[in-house]
Structures are given as C-alpha cells and as structure tokens.
Amino acid sequence: MERLERQQNGERVDVFDRLVKERLYDLPPDQIAEFKQVARIKEYESGTVLIGEDEKPDIIGGVIAGVLREQKNTRDGKTHIVDFRFPGNSFGHLDDTPSNVSVEVATDAVVWIADRRTFARLADRHRVFFDLFFGSALQDLDFARRQILLLASGNLNQKLAWFLLQFLETGSENQTNCIRIPVSRKDIADYLGTTLESISRFMAGLEANGVIEFKKRDAILVHDLESLKNLADEVSDIGSKNGG
C-alpha cells in the first residue's frame, strides 16, 4: 500500500495507521496485512470523478478525509447531487452492475481504494470486511427515507436545519455544538433544491437570532442547539408516523 502522511497537530500522521486505528482496530494482524495488500491510499483534488454514472466500476473504496458527492444526470440535462459521502462512508458496490450515480470529489479528499473484484474475494474470505465497509445498508435505507421526506417538504427552514444537524451528528468537527460544513453553499443548494440566496437568508436569520455564530466560512458555533433541533423536528415526526 502507498504510505501517505498528513500533518495533524504538528505531527506527521500515517494515513493507513489512522485507518487501522479508526476502523480495523479489532482485526487480527494477518487480516490487516491482507487489507493492506489490496488497498491503496490516494489523494484526489476537488472535481475528480472516481466513478462515472452508468459505468461498471472497477474500484471500490471509502472516505478517510474530505467529502465525495454522488450525482445523477436528469432528463433535462442537469446534474443533481443525490448524496454526500463523508469520512467513514464507503462508495461503490461489489456486484458487477453499472453505477446509477457518478461519484465525484467534492472537496480535496483522501480515500482508500481497491480493485472491486480483489476486494470482493477478500470479503468472501473474511466477511468482517464487508460488514465494516458495506454492511450498513439498513442505516443507509433509513437515512434515504428521511432524506426523501425532507426533500418532499415545502418548508425550506426545516430542510436547512435538518441538513446542518447531519454535520453535527457525524462529528465533523469533533467538538460540542460545533458544525463544520466542508461542502460549498452551491452544493447545498443543489442537494436541497433551493437557491444560494435562500440559504444565505436562512443562515443570516439564525445568526441574528443568536442560534448560530459563524467562526469561519465553513465553521459554525451553535449557541442554541435546541432551537435548531426544533426547526428540524418535523422531519423526525413524519418519519416516526411512517414507522421510523
């Protein structure tokens, strides 16, 4: 495996060692060694296409740092973001079928990638690799159901509040009541089916009411988490009424 180091807290950190610590820590050394033989650590710049829509992907992988976006072309020739893949999320699939979305790098990212067939053989030998990286189908289905309910709602404030909370819940910043949004507002507008102006007005309103405070362009301090959750409650309520 390529060894890739990144700067973290003033020290050089081996990215593969970080992956082992975060995801593979329970595995015996021989299984970690097998994974190391089939996987590569790669850095990609924003805009790089990893998997094309309707292509049979040769690779499979997971996000270590940065964000990927899954996109789909519509009949009118536009491209719509259908999902984001964050650190800890996997991308691609093991079966020999075309991808129904393209996978593109949204921000500069570090990923592990492997040849799809080689990884499938590894997962056949050691089921734990499938469970670790691709065994969250039920969670993904539940998230997709909530996403559909969200996007079907006409309440823009609700959509944006729910979206912000996804970053808090995934621990992007690993700090209490702090949200880091690593994707552009243009991507957010595309994903939620709204405009940049609407997002800016919503954010400005939250800050004026003391709910949030912008620390940097992509970092938000949440002063009133309860109010933000209340704005997004309707999505959870709808999901509960439908068996969630």
Return the pLDDT at 9: 42
pLDDT tens figures, 91-126: 998 888 999 999 999 989 999 999 999 999 999 999
User: Residue 177 pLDDT > 70, yes or no?
Assistant: yes
pLDDT tens figures, 24-79: 888 899 999 999 999 999 999 999 999 999 999 999 999 988 899 999 888 877 78
User: Residue 195 pLDDT > 60, yes or no?
Assistant: yes
Q: What is the DSSP string of 126-190?
A: -HHHHHHHH--HHHHHHHHHHHHHHHH-S-HHHHHHHHHHHHHHTTSS-STTEEE--S-HHHHHH
Return the pLDDT at 174: 46
Query: Which domains are delineated in the chain?
Result: 5-135 (2.60.120.10), 144-241 (1.10.10.10)
pTM of structure: 0.73
pLDDT tens figures, 127-166: 888 888 876 554 555 555 556 566 666 578 888 888 888 7
Return the pLDDT at 125: 93
- Which has the higher per-residue pLDDT, 230 or 17? 230
- For CA atoms 113, 117, 121, 124, the dihedral sign is positive
| Residues in contact with 153: Cβ distance below 8 Å, sequence separation at least 6, in sequence order | 159, 234, 235, 238
In this structure, which amino acid lies at residue 205?
Answer: G
